Structure 1
Amino acid sequence: MSDWLHNLPLPLMAVVIFAFTYLLAAGIFAGIALAATEERAKSLKAISPGMLPVLGIIFGLFVAFTAAQVWGDSDRASAAVSREASALRSAVLLAGGLPTEQETKLRGLVRDYVGQAVAVEWPMMAHQQASLKVTPPPLAEALQLVVTMTPQGTGQANVQRELIAALEQALDARRQRIIVSLAAVNPVKWWCLYLQAACALLVIGLVHCDNRLGSAIAMGLFATGVATSVLLIAAHDRPFAGQISIQPEPLLQIMPEGPGKG
C-alpha cells in the first residue's frame, strides 16, 4: 500500500479501506444479480455451500500469516529503539568517568545524535527512505573520540572499553531499526488477500443467488470482516509510519540536558 494511505489518520484510513471493500462486494453482488437469470440461477445455485468453510479458512490463514509478519516487525522495531536508547544512556552515564572536557563533548555529541535521529531519521523512516550508507556524524565522532583517548589509569581504561561497547551497541540498534523501517507487507500479499476475499464473496453470492436480501446481508457481513482485518494489518504495517507508529520517546528521555547533567 502507498505512503498516502499509511500516513492517513486512522479514521480516514478506515473510511478508505471499508469503502474499497464494500465497493468490491457491491460489484460482485451486482455481477451475480445480472448473471443469475431464471435460466442460470439453477446452475449457479448448484455450487456447493461446502466451499464456504474452506475459503473462509484459507482467508483466515492469509490474515494470520500476514499479521504475524506485521507484529514481528513491530516488536523488532520497538526492541531496536529501546536497545538504542539503553546503549546511549549507558554511554552518557559512563561519560562521568572521563575528564570534564571529554565528558562535556561526549554528552554534546550524544545530544546532537538524538536530535538528528528524531528530526531527520524518523520522518525518513516513515517514508522508507532512511539509509545505512552513511553513519550519523555525531555518533561516529563520539566513537572516534573515545577510541583515540589516552586513559589515565585502570579506571579510565575500563570506562573507555565500556563506552566503545555502548556506542557500538547503539550503532547496531540504529541499523536494526532502519532495516525494520524498510519492511512492509508486499503488494503480492495484499493482492492475494483481496483475491481470496473476492473468491469467498463470490461463492457467498452464488450460494444465495435466489435470495437477494440474504445474499446482500451475508456478503456485507463478510466484507465487514475483511475490511476490519485489512485495517488492522494496514494500521500496523509500517512500524514507523501512520498514527499508530513507534515514536522516539525512549531516545528523547535519555537525551542529555546539558553539560554535567545525566
Structure 2
Amino acid sequence: MIDSWLHNLPIWEMAIVCFAASFLVGWAIHVVTGRLAAGPHGRSWMTVSPGLLSPIGVIFGLLVAFTAAQVWTDTERASAAVAAEASALRSVVIVSAVLPEGPRGQIRELVKEHIEHVVDEEWPMMARGDVTLKISPPELNKALQLTLSLTLETPGQQTAQREVATYLEQALEARRQRILVSRSEVNPVKWLSLIFLGGCLQVTVALVHCHNRLGSAVSIGLFSAGFAAAMLLILAHDRPFTGQVAVRPASLLQVMPDS
C-alpha cells in the first residue's frame, strides 16, 4: 500500500508528505462542503448532527491505537532479536577461547564473516523486505558443523564444545526471528481503513461547522494536523528495519571478534 520510497524518506520529508496530503484533502473538503452549504440544499447539510463525531472518532482512535501498538511491538521484537543474536555470538566468541587454537580461530573468523555478511548484505535486503528464511547463513552453519565435528579430550573443552554449539543454535534462532519480523508491516486493509475513517471525520467536521466558514476551517485544520501526526507516527515505525528510525546492527558490530 505505502511505497518503499516513502518509508525511506528522512523524518522531516515524511512529515511534509503526511501533513501536506492531510491539509490538501482537508482544504478540498472545506471548499466542497462550503459550496454545498451555499447551494439549494444547504439547510439539509447543516442538519448533520455533531453526535456523529463521537462514534466515528472512537472507531478511528481505536484503529490508530491498535495499529500503533502493532508497529511498536514489531520494533521491540526486532530489537530483541538483534540483541539476542548479538548476545549469542558474543558468548560463542568468549566460550570458544577454551577450544584448541586452530578451531578457535576458525570459529571466530566465521563469526566475523557472518556479522559482515549480515551488515553488508542481509540488512539492506531486510530494509527492502526481500530476505527470506530460504537464505541460509553459511558462516554459522559452517561454525556449527566445525564445532560438532571436533574430537576433544579434556572435560573443559568438551563442555565448551557443547556450549558453543548451543549458542550457535541460539544465534540461528535469533536470526530466524529477525528475518520474520523484518517482513512485518501494516497491511493495505488497515491503511485503507485508517485513511477512509480519517476522511469520514474530516467530512463530518466540515458538515457540522459548514454554517461557520472560519470555524469549519479551524476545526478541519486542527483535525488534519492530528491525523497527519498519527499517520507519521505509524509510517515511521511501519517497517522495523526501514527508514531513519529503523533498528540498526550496532550491537552485532560491537561483538565482532578481532581475530
Q: For 1:232 and 1:203, how far apart are their aligned partners in 2?
A: 24
> Which residue is 1:238 aligned to?
239
CA distance in 1, matches of 2:152, 2:88: 21
What residue in structure 2 maps to residue 208 of structure 1?
A: 209
174-183 or 25-34: which moved more?
25-34
| 1:47-196 map, 5 Å | 47-196=48-197
Aligned-pair distance for 1:214? Answer: 0.7
Percent of paired sites with the same residue: 50
Shift of 1:37: 2.3
Distance in 2 of aligned mates of 1:38 and 1:146: 81
Unmatched tracts of structure 1, length 5 or more? none
User: How much does 1:41 deviate?
Assistant: 1.8
Give the CA deviation at 1:38: 4.6
Please state whether the residue corresponding to 2:184 is helix, strand or coil: coil
CA distance in 1, matches of 2:124, 2:39: 58
Distance 2:242 2:107 in 1: 31
SS in 2 for 1:50: helix
Question: For 1:64-89, what per-residue CA distance to the aligned partner results, in whole angstroms no more than 9, with x for missing partners?
Answer: 01001001100100000000000000
Q: Bigger CA drift: 129-138 or 67-76?
A: 129-138
Q: What is the CA-CA distance between 1:164 and the residue it aligns to?
A: 0.8
In structure 1, how many angstroms separate the alpha carbons of the residues matched to 2:177 and 2:21?
A: 34
Distance 1:15 1:187 in 2: 22
Give the letter for the 2:132 counterpart. S
Moved over 3 A (4+): none
Rounded Cα–Cα distance in structure 2 between residues aligned with 1:247 and 1:137: 22
Match of 2:13 in 1: 12
Q: CA RMSD in A?
A: 0.9
d(CA) in 2 for partners of 1:219 and 1:210? 14
Q: Deviations over 1:3-58 (max 9, x none)?
A: 00000011101111111111111121122122222532211111111111221111
Q: Which moved more, 1:52-61 or 1:237-246?
A: 52-61
In 2, are the aligned partners of 1:41 and 1:209 still within 8 Å (CA)? Answer: no
**Could you say what secondary structure the match of 1:36 adopts?**
helix
Residue 153 of structure 1: how far off its partner (Å): 2.2
Distance 1:152 1:33 in 2: 87
Q: Which structure 2 residue ranges, 5 or more long, are not aligned?
A: none
- Name the structure 2 match of 1:2: 3
User: Which whole-Å CA distance do the structure 1 matches of 2:245 and 2:252 have between them?
Assistant: 18
Aligned equivalent of 1:28: 29
* Alignment TM-score, normalising by the size of structure 2: 0.98
